[in-house]
Amino acid sequence: MKNRKINKFATVCLLSAALLCSSGCSFVKFSVQPASKKTSSAVVRKTLLQTIPSSSKRAAAAALTKPQPLRNDGVRSVMHLDFLRLQKKYNLAAVPTYDGSNQSTHPKILYFPNGWHGYRYWMSITPYPGGNDDYENPCIVVSNDMTNWVTPRGIHNPVTGVPKDVRYGGHYSDSHLVMCKSRMELWYRYNAGNRKTRQPNYAKDFYYRILSSDGTHWSNPQLMQTAPQNMMSLAVNYQSGQYKFWYTDRSNRLMHAVSTDGTHWSQVVPCRIPLPAGYTPWHQDVVCCNNTYYLLQTGLYHKKYSFALFLSKSTDGIHFTNGVPFYPSANPVILHNTWLYRSSFFADTHNTFQMMISLRLPGQKWFMTKCSMPISQWNKACSSHQKVILNSSSATVRRV
């Protein structure tokens, strides 16, 4: 989705100012190289990440299972007036953004019951003020309650920097966090800019990843995939030594592949995910729980170009049950006048799915709300094919 209200040169200036303010420094050198961050210690960090001794790896793995002290020294931000005005009405999560708008989308949450480097919840987001994708650069935020989020001390968002060709339409998007053993990985998409049209070239997608052993110090980016046929909203799981991928292709099909190293993929196969008439897959998050793949599917309604969420599940990650409409609230505005966009979820220790739902409220305000539902309720919905509206016994819904 494109909404280019300001020219690219102005965008670069605004991004620079935002980074300077958020860092508290008089000068910040950040990369505009696609998938490259030229910091003085980047190479050292990458080397450390890739050559951790076995004993240190064991210690890091043990840290994931032992309680850790929680921190409260993250960098907080002043909440924008638009957010404060709407927070209580829509139960919005307070998520900081480097541009100061507090508007963001495309969350992916990782949950650590015992904490990981001071926080139970780590989330990747992309700022999206008013739908302006010039700011859609991946960021990391953390929390210990899923409501109040902060920037981890030592991080300068966006952690990916900005594309070198941002003024010509160069564009990052579709970030996703995944744990590979004791290492955190951030995957994200890049589309090159076109000097003539000053728009992104969507004919070819590039997926990069950066790595971190502590969530604060990140490696240089690695190019993982080049896709000439579109690869939107890559969802990544890592299980038993294998990466599992889901994404949406140019024909709005949900696709699946696996890999042992993240770079060399198996043959990509289309998934079966029946959605209501008029909808096709757009963005997605997938969680494996109790040997079942749970899918939170964002569907595109072509007739009105709007978005909704659907619940589904599968035993093999390929053949999914019919998508069941899902609404995080019975609030009439959310039911009737809000896009439900790429959202994220995870299973907690109480057989419940905790969810972070991305909303586009009226006026193109992009915020997030948290909610939860028992896993048994998700299973029941998939079996009964009955829509789910949280906190409501009866409600009707019309498409936005």
How does DSSP classify residue 221? P
The pTM score is 0.84
Q: Are strands 324-327 and 388-389 parallel, antiparallel or unpaired?
A: parallel
Looking at residue 353, what is its pLDDT? Answer: 98
Both tokens of 391, joined, read 């906190």
On the question of a cis peptide bond just before residue 270, with omega within 30 degrees of 0, the verdict is no
pLDDT averaged over 10-residue windows placed end to end, the chain, 400 residues: 44 46 35 40 34 44 68 86 95 96 98 97 98 95 96 96 94 98 98 94 95 97 92 96 97 98 97 98 98 98 97 99 98 97 97 98 97 98 97 58
105-136: buried (b, 16+ CB within 10 Å) or exposed (e) per residue? bbbbbbbbeebbbbbbbbbbbbbbbebbbbbb
**Phi-psi region for residue 181, left (φ > 0), alpha (ψ -120 to 50) or beta?**
left
Both tokens of 200, joined, read 């992104």
Note the pLDDT tens digit of each residue in 171-193.
999 999 999 999 999 999 999 99
CB 49 within 8 A of CB 207: no
Looking at residue 75, what is its pLDDT? Answer: 86
Q: How far apart are CA 241 and CA 120, in angstroms?
A: 24
Domains and CATH numbers, the chain: 1-228 (no CATH), 241-400 (2.120.10.10)
Looking at residue 5, what is its pLDDT? Answer: 40
Looking at residue 9, what is its pLDDT? Answer: 40
Q: Which residues contact 113 (CB under 8 A, 6 or more apart)?
A: 120, 348, 349
